[in-house]
Structure 1
Amino acid sequence: MADKFLQPVMQSDAVPFSRPSTPTAHPLQIGWYGLGAMGYFMARNMASSRKSHPAASPPVLVYNRTVAKSDKLVKEVGASAAKVAQSPAQLATECDVIFTNLANDAAVTSVYNEFAKALAQSPPTKAKIFVDTSTVYPSLAGEVDKVISGFPHCHFVTSPVFGPPPAADAAKLVIALSGDYRSKKEAAYLLVPAVGRKVMDLGGNIEKAPTLKLIGNSLIMGANELLSETFTLGDKSGIGAQTVQNLVKEIMPAPGMIAYGEKMVNDRFDGSVGFAIDGGIKDANHIRRLTAELNSPMPAVDIAHQRMITARAIHESHKAAGTNKWDIIDWSALIAGSRVAAGLDPFDSSKGTRVVRDE
């Protein structure tokens, strides 16, 4: 009997926390700032999930600097699930949990400074959690935490996500969390399964989740660089990139390898429906800074960084000439650097190569 009593309560591997305490008569007011390529899907799924909650649950307040995106989201999910916030201050003062998904460190700094001004003018009287899902340099997370936790009842959680926009659309993201334990627990059960499929707990150090995010992105960059080199060699050798991709599916069938491989093989470099190359370069800069600070070289990321800059430079020259096919290019377009180095066309794999099959 004693042994049975001591057994821990087993729960889903998707969320490594016990459920938060039963909600009181005051349902949580959720806020969301940032409706970009990832944020729109995440906020939409969060709002849609509220429909299954008690009728008293208020609609998610959404804010974006481009108001049309907020209006689009409300139209998609309905007024009972989402409502357009009039300002960042409204999110900071009226919401219990505020999620942010922003493009870069400068945007995160600007938005959280706006939140801080609102909190200073209207100090909170109850618990308030700020959850940032952006990809930022770890030390910035520490700076934001210092500002937010300086206000009464306020906590900050870092919650970067792993997965491209299609994964965000399908609510299949993997989510890293670090920060205050109780706040992580609350955030985790709001995010899974509404926004993602799994949470990874990185502990109380606020900088750990952003660090893991950079490590994860270094894996993707290194894999993309390897794909770009092998596809280029496949084309130059007469084997063909598609045949190499078929081999990838057989011996290295990771979802990311297959998805980015398909983009490269088929020249699908539209960054408006993927991860824009500027974001990839920003993340590469963060990773390279982190490796320098920790004396842990990552040559694969250095090369991927060079390839992305090459691809962006070529794309900018095409835009200047009016010959560009896409307004924004995806970071998988780093293969352009490998192709040009091998004497091939950067963005059109049908030019300059021809697969020759032996009979």
Structure 2
Amino acid sequence: MPISDDAVLNDLVEQALSLKSIHGKLFIDTSTVHPSTSSAVAEALKAKGAHFIASPVFGASPVAAAGKLIFAMAGSQDQISRVSPYIQDVMGRQIINMGADVHSSSLLKISGNIFVIGFQELIAEAQVFAEKTGLGTARMEEFIGGMFGPVLESYSKRMTSGAYAPPLDTPPGFAVSLASKDVRHALAIAEEKGCQLPTLETAQNRMTKAREYAGESLDSSSVYGIARLEAGLPFWSENSRQGN
């Protein structure tokens, strides 16, 4: 069962806790949840004699299919050693061992998504700038790939290919609803710690507007559609679902 948010994880754990015995069982969560949720789940399972590894992953669906994910694993070091052979060079290209505190791996995942969403926001703005000035999105994308490498180029391609608003029968690479949830966690932690994430605030505002404008079947890169609208361009590009 996909774990889309904290509530789903809590529900699944409650179901597990209701079983007659889970003593010695190992639970591994690869989703993105608030660090406090990971800590609470770990304590609840530990009280029943079970083990818990918080192991959020970095990488979109194509990366997962290629077995190239990055796993940020925290929990019992014995249990991490136990499962590592099934992950390293099988499901993922790297395991980042975050130690015993499951709070830390969830925090790293949320921190990592600051980059993912922030880069998407910046690239969306740059590509709209390129279109409005006549430079052209193709030249901008070539520069992004040459200067910053294939990862940022792939973010650009999600916009220029129209994947930011895919056909309704095609699932998005990183659903806007999940991205918005992750950004809410990051902004809440930032507020708690007395720091600011203005780029993420802009991205969150644009993702919210995109969902209001075009519904939920959007990628997180749909910030591009709203950046286009704000610049006087259509939300839909010629390659997106209502542009072709």
What range describes the TM-score normalised by the shorter chain of this pair? over 0.9
Q: Indicate if the aligned counterparts of 1:105 and 1:140 stay in contact, CA closer than 8 A.
A: yes
Hey, what's the Cα distance between the residues in 1 that align with 2:7 and 2:235?
A: 31
The equivalent position to 2:135 in structure 1, one of 239, 244, 256, is 239
Kindly indicate whether residue 36 of structure 2 is the aligned counterpart of residue 135 of structure 1: no
Larger Rg: 1
> Is the 8 Å Cα contact of residues 277 and 331 (structure 1) preserved in structure 2?
yes
SS in 2 for 1:332: helix
Hey, what does 1:145 align to over in structure 2?
Answer: 42
How many angstroms apart in 1 are the aligned matches of 2:238 and 2:111?
A: 30
Query: Which residue of structure 2 lines up, in the alignment, with residue 286 of structure 1?
Result: 185
- Secondary structure at 1:149 match in 2: helix
1:230 deviates by: 0.4
Partner of 1:230: 126
Q: TM-score if structure 1 supplies the norm length?
A: 0.63
Q: How many residues align?
A: 236
1:265 aligns with 2:164: no
Could you tell me which runs of 5 or more consecutive residues in structure 2 were left unpaired when the two chains were aligned: none
Alignment match, 2:85: 189
1:15-54, Cα deviation, whole Å (9 max, x unpaired): xxxxxxxxxxxxxxxxxxx2x5xxxxxxxxxxxxxxxxxx
What letter matches 2:143 in structure 1? L
Rounded Cα–Cα distance in structure 2 between residues aligned with 1:266 and 1:272:
15
Q: How far apart are 1:273 and its partner, in Å?
A: 4.2
Task: From the superposition, tell whether residues 342 and 191 of structure 1 become closer, same or farther in structure 2 (CA, over 3 Å).
Answer: same
Give the conservation status (yes or no) of the 8 Å contact 2:207–2:220.
Answer: yes
Query: Which residue of 2 is the match for residue 346 of structure 1?
Result: 235
* Unpaired runs of at least 5, structure 1: 1-33, 37-101, 317-326, 352-359
CA shift, 1:123, in A, is 5.1
Please provide the CA RMSD for this pair.
1.6
Counterpart CA distance in 2 for 1:123 and 1:164 is: 32
Q: Return the offset for 1:187.
A: 2.3
State whether residues 162 and 237 of structure 2, in contact with CA within 8 Å, keep that contact through their aligned partners in structure 1. yes
Q: In the alignment, is the contact (CA less than 8 A) between 2:163 and 2:172 conserved in 1?
A: no
CA distance in 2, matches of 1:190, 1:294: 37
Q: Partner letter of residue 196 of structure 1?
A: G
Secondary structure in structure 2 of the residue aligned to 1:179:
coil
- Could you say what secondary structure the match of 1:145 adopts? helix
Asked whether the 8 Å contact 1:218–1:301 carries over to 2, the reply is yes
2:135 alignment partner, SS class: coil
1:162 aligns with 2:51: no
Structure 1 runs of 4+ off > 2 angstroms? none
Identity %, equivalent residues: 27
State whether residues 310 and 336 of structure 1, in contact with CA within 8 Å, keep that contact through their aligned partners in structure 2: no
Relative to total residues, which structure has the larger helix share, 1 or 2? 2
In structure 1, the residue matched to 2:17 is 116
User: Is 1:300 matched up with 2:196?
Assistant: no
Deviations 1:33-84 (A, max 9, x none): x2x5xxxxxxxxxxxxxxxxxxxxxxxxxxxxxxxxxxxxxxxxxxxxxxxx
